[in-house]
């Protein structure tokens, strides 16, 4: 965030800070951005009611100013979302507010994402920090759960599943077909060739009985390998 030319007077402790994050990092309490009433101009040091321009020396406190959040910043096409209750980086026409998810999302996700009620009010399951007011962009998984974009990118270095529901976090179709080839080229030892196992698919939630293979068991319903064994291995009586 660009440094403001105005110091906000925190109503909680009467101290001056250029941003609420600086306040929160230095105090044992959080600044309620909506209760800020006064600011001090860094240039002339006049304390005045919160506004975009200094009434004494005409210093511009920020190219963007929100009279609700009392945010001073460079112009980044910000807009205040009444439903979110805070300012978002725009431009506004590139986003829509999903009332069920309770979050502003990119227009290309409108009608194309799975909604989970108030999902933005949950903490990121990776870092356990807030998503709704975070300055880090939220990434919407196919299952509808949210992660910080940076947490999502780190997660993909070690796995591909949503940490909450185990659904595939991205389109794995190409990899599944590669795994088909590997399974076909890797026959199991004779004692395992007639062995079957019950599996539960993390992607479609379906259950099926498939041939056991050490490389993975493919769901008979959606053809995903994102499955878990749901019972013991067995050999059909007519194959024994």
pLDDT digits over 131-186, tens only?
998 888 899 999 999 999 999 999 999 999 999 999 999 999 999 999 999 999 99
For residue 47 the two structure tokens come to 């304390």
Give 3's pLDDT tier (boundaries 50, 70, 90): low
Give 234's pLDDT tier (boundaries 50, 70, 90): confident
With H, G, I as helix, E, B as strand and everything else as coil, classify residue 115.
coil
- Amino acid 115: pLDDT: 94
pTM summary value: 0.78
On the question of pLDDT at 239 being above 80, the answer is: no
- SS3 per residue for 189-233: CHHHCCEEEEEEECCCCCEEEEECCCCCCCCCCCCCCCEEECCCC
Model confidence over 41-78: pLDDT tens digits? 999 999 999 999 999 999 999 999 999 999 999 999 99
The domains found in the chain, sorted by start residue, are 4-71 (no CATH), 76-120 (no CATH), 188-233 (2.20.28.10)
- Amino acid 202: pLDDT: 97
152 φ, ψ to 5°? -60, -45
Long-range contacts made by residues 209-214, C-beta under 8 angstroms, separation at least 24?
Answer: 212/188, 213/183, 213/186, 213/188, 214/186, 214/188
| CA contacts within 13 A on the Cβ side of 127 | 15
**CB 4, CB 66: distance < 8 Å:** no
């Amino acid at each position: 965030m660009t440094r403001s030319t105005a110091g906000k007077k925190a109503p909680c402790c009467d101290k001056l800070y250029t941003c609420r994050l600086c306040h929160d990092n230095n105090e044992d309490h959080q600044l309620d951005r909506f209760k800020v009433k006064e600011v001090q101009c860094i240039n002339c040091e006049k304390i005045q009611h919160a506004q975009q321009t200094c009434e004494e020396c005409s210093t511009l406190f920020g190219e963007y100013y929100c009279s609700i959040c009392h945010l001073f910043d460079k112009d980044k096409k910000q807009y205040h979302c009444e439903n979110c209750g805070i300012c978002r980086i725009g431009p506004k026409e590139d986003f829509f507010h999903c009332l069920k998810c309770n979050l502003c999302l990119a227009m290309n996700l409108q009608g194309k994402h799975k909604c989970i009620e108030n999902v933005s009010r949950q903490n990121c399951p990776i870092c356990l920090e807030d998503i709704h007011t975070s300055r880090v962009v939220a990434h919407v998984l196919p299952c509808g759960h949210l992660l910080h974009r940076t947490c999502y990118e780190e997660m993909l270095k070690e796995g591909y599943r949503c940490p909450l529901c185990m659904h595939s976090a991205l389109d794995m179709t190409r990899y599944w077909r590669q795994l088909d080839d590997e399974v076909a080229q890797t026959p199991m030892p004779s004692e395992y060739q007639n062995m079957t196992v019950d599996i539960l698919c993390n992607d479609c939630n379906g259950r099926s009985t498939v041939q056991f293979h050490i490389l993975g068991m493919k769901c008979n319903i959606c053809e995903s390998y994102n499955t878990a064994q749901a019972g013991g291995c067995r050999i059909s009586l007519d194959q024994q």
